[in-house]
Structure 1
Amino acid sequence: MTTQTVVLEGVRAVYGTGARRVTALDGVSVTFERGRLAAVMGPSGSGKSTLLHCAAGLDRPAAGHISIDGVALDKLSEDGLTRLRRDRIGFVFQAFNLVSALTAEQNVALPQRLAGRRPPASDVAAALAAVGLADRARHRPSELSGGEQQRVAVARALISRPAVVFADEPTGALDSVTSRQVLELLRALVDDHELTVVMVTHDPVAAGYADRVVFLADGRVVDDVTGPVPVDAIAARTAPSC
């Protein structure tokens, strides 16, 4: 039985003032459950990235409530949000954001080291093994393929054993073959370890790996489909209207 890992209730996000005022999220209510891979889709400007940033505590909404693993974000100070992101949230972005001078294992350990912690070597090794890179621990990013670099980024997101991983266009910089490998990895982590993944993507093929697809338009949820959703159906929903 799944539980609600991420809950958004009536979330409203507004940027700018006057004529430049933009409502990026307009009363969004949605939940994401443990052990599920959810894709968030929509046209440019629909609010996809804003939803992710608010859900992850990177941006504070103008109104509404958000909780992660039962913790209400609006009750936390900035220090509290920082600790929550460090301890309970993993991030994977389109840009791998690896430090070129560090090895794979050092990149995986870096967030914990910056927080003043020294993660056990066994935890780092386990994270790399989980993404299929046990034999690449001592390699630097320049010695790794794009797909391997993104898998290092996934391992880095896993090191704190997060409640949820937010992935923002995780395959956007990869070719189709490498994208499939990364998506299969995320799918396996969800299925085998009951990880919760919320993935923003514009790619119907990527969304086809999800258990559920949430569609946004103009800052609102306009459809919410439990999958598996056929890729052609996703493509039809996201195709620009003539």
Structure 2
Amino acid sequence: MPTPDTLRLRSVSKVYGSAARSVTALNQITTEFRAGSFTAVMGPSGSGKSTLLHCAAGLDRPTSGEVLLGDTDLGELDETRLTELRRERIGFVFQSYNLVSALTAAQNVALPLRLAGRRPQPGAVDGALAEVGLAARGAHRPSELSGGEQQRVALARALVTRPAAVFADEPTGALDSKTSRDVLTLLRAVVDRHRQTVVMVTHDPVAAAYADRVLVMVDGRITQELTAPLTAESVALASRGGLSC
């Protein structure tokens, strides 16, 4: 039985355009992301992996099918309620960090709460920064931080509301290998320590191997599913279509 934080997709399709010019980005996707799990989504460019993430996170609406967070059908929510749900129960981490340059790290972390009209609880922002190893950098603006530090601020911002699910779109794509490992270790800790759900889109088999499960997509469909134990080699082979699961 699904928990209140289980995210389910039922026969989800997403079609852009119409008639002869239509493009099917997702084709009848049915899957679920259980609470406290870490799923990586892989596939070639144009396979639909980012569209899957956007529909699952409520950033985009599917053409057909259902997206449910617990018993809540995201398709039945108007834009105001959907925005509220994203602020309260969903966190986002993007490749480009998406920090506000005029704000300090601490102010960026507090931003989701401020936008929701909530005052941060005492210690919440400092605690989120400490969790990602930036306790001493809260007063610094993004231009004063390295790329890895900016991504960790973005992760702290995603975690400060203690969301049910964190969606990460190529979170290590702009980082070097060591900094990537640091960010991936933090995402793994989100799952292991707080039992939150992480869904990550990536091209990198090494990054995908941090997950509990890997979904491989081709032409808008999930063609393979791998489960732990995972290695970068097994993920790379599957993503090239060399493994049947």
Normalising by the residue count of structure 2, what TM-score does the alignment of the two structures yield?
Answer: 0.94
SS in 2 for 1:134: coil
Task: Provide the residue aligned with 1:180 in structure 2.
Answer: 181
Q: CA deviation at 1:212?
A: 0.4
Q: Does the aligned pair in 2 maintain the 1:52–1:166 contact within 8 Å?
A: yes
Letter in 1 for 2:13: R
Task: Provide the residue aligned with 1:30 in structure 2.
Answer: 31
Q: Does the aligned pair in 1 maintain the 2:224–2:238 contact within 8 Å?
A: no
Q: CA deviation at 1:126?
A: 1.3
CA RMSD of aligned residues (A): 1.6
Cα separation, 2, equivalents of 1:170 and 1:93: 5
* 1:134-153 mapped onto 2 (5 Å cutoff): 134-153=135-154
Task: Provide the residue aligned with 1:14 in structure 2.
Answer: 15
Cα separation, 2, equivalents of 1:40 and 1:136: 32
SS in 2 for 1:135: coil
SS in 2 for 1:45: coil
Aligned length: 241
* 1:53-202 mapped onto 2 (5 Å cutoff): 53-202=54-203
Normalising by the residue count of structure 1, what TM-score does the alignment of the two structures yield?
Answer: 0.95
Task: Provide the residue aligned with 1:52 in structure 2.
Answer: 53
Q: CA deviation at 1:45?
A: 0.8
Q: Does the aligned pair in 2 maintain the 1:92–1:153 contact within 8 Å?
A: yes
Cα separation, 2, equivalents of 1:188 and 1:179: 14
Q: Does the aligned pair in 2 maintain the 1:12–1:63 contact within 8 Å?
A: yes
For residues 71 and 2 of structure 1, do their structure 2 counterparts lie closer, same or farther at Cα, with a shift above 3 Å needed? closer
Q: CA deviation at 1:121?
A: 3.8
Cα separation, 1, equivalents of 2:148 and 2:2: 30
SS in 2 for 1:156: helix
Q: CA deviation at 1:223?
A: 0.9
Query: Which residues of structure 2 form unaligned runs of 5+?
Result: none
Cα separation, 2, equivalents of 1:18 and 1:181: 46
Letter in 2 for 1:206: A
Letter in 2 for 1:61: P
* Higher mean C-alpha displacement, 184-193 vs 114-123: 114-123
